[in-house]
Each structure stands twice: as C-alpha cells, then as structure tokens.
C-alpha cells in the first residue's frame, strides 16, 4: 500500500482524479483503502498496476495472490473471470 500512497501523493489533484476514474473508483476510496489497509480486489489491483504504468505493482497491494498464475490465466483463455468488485469469481 505504500507504493500506492507514494504514487497518489506524486500526482496533481487533477491527475489523481483521472487515475482513480481510470481504475474505476474514486481518490477517496483509494486513500481510505490505504489508510485502513483494506484488501483490494484482484481486478482493481491489476487496473492500478496498468494505469500507473507499473509504478504500483499488484504484488505490493495483495502479496497473498499468485499474480503469475492470475496473469497467465487472464492472458490464456480467460479462465479467470472477475466479478463487479474486481475479485476472482468462482467458476
């Protein structure tokens, strides 16, 4: 979460808002998640990684997830589906 906070703090207010929108949430949501160390959904972690151009690694947000597997599954045949909360949905 420290990577995400540092990244957010390095952006202008306008850029923070645009970043959060691209991630599908708000700046307030991201800041609250950081402050309470909230467990973010896998999909949101991936979006943060993509939208930050790799400055924030999904691994830093959710070290409990097997990101190598997730990426392979998503790239493969879409074996992993994400629900509306950005979490891996059961098959």
**Whole-number Å distance between alpha carbons of 25 and 46:** 13
pLDDT tens digits for 7-22?
999 999 999 999 999 9
pLDDT value of residue 91: 46
Q: Is residue 43 part of a domain?
A: yes
5: how many CB neighbours lie within 10 A of its CB?
15
pTM assigned to the model: 0.79
Q: Is residue 70 part of a domain?
A: yes
H or E stretch covering 89 = none
**Which carries the bigger pLDDT value, residue 57 or residue 84?**
57
Q: Is residue 48 part of a domain?
A: yes
pLDDT value of residue 61: 96
Widest Cα–Cα separation across the chain? 40
Q: Is residue 52 part of a domain?
A: yes
Q: Is residue 85 part of a domain?
A: no
Structural domain count of the chain: 1
Q: Is residue 30 part of a domain?
A: yes
Q: Write out the residue range of the structural domain in which residue 39 sits.
A: 2-75
Q: Is residue 15 part of a domain?
A: yes
Q: Is residue 80 part of a domain?
A: no
pLDDT value of residue 89: 56
pLDDT tens digits for 20-79?
999 999 999 999 999 999 999 999 999 999 999 999 999 999 999 999 888 888 777 555
């Amino acid at each position: 979460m420290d990577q995400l906070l540092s990244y957010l703090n390095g952006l202008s207010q306008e850029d923070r808002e645009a970043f959060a929108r691209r991630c599908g949430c708000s700046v307030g949501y991201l800041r609250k998640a950081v402050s309470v160390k909230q467990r973010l959904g896998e999909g949101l972690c991936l979006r943060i990684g993509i939208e930050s151009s790799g400055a924030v690694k999904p691994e830093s947000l959710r070290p409990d997830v097997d990101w190598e597997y997730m990426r392979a599954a998503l790239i493969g045949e879409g074996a992993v589906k994400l629900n509306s909360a950005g979490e891996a949905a059961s098959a």
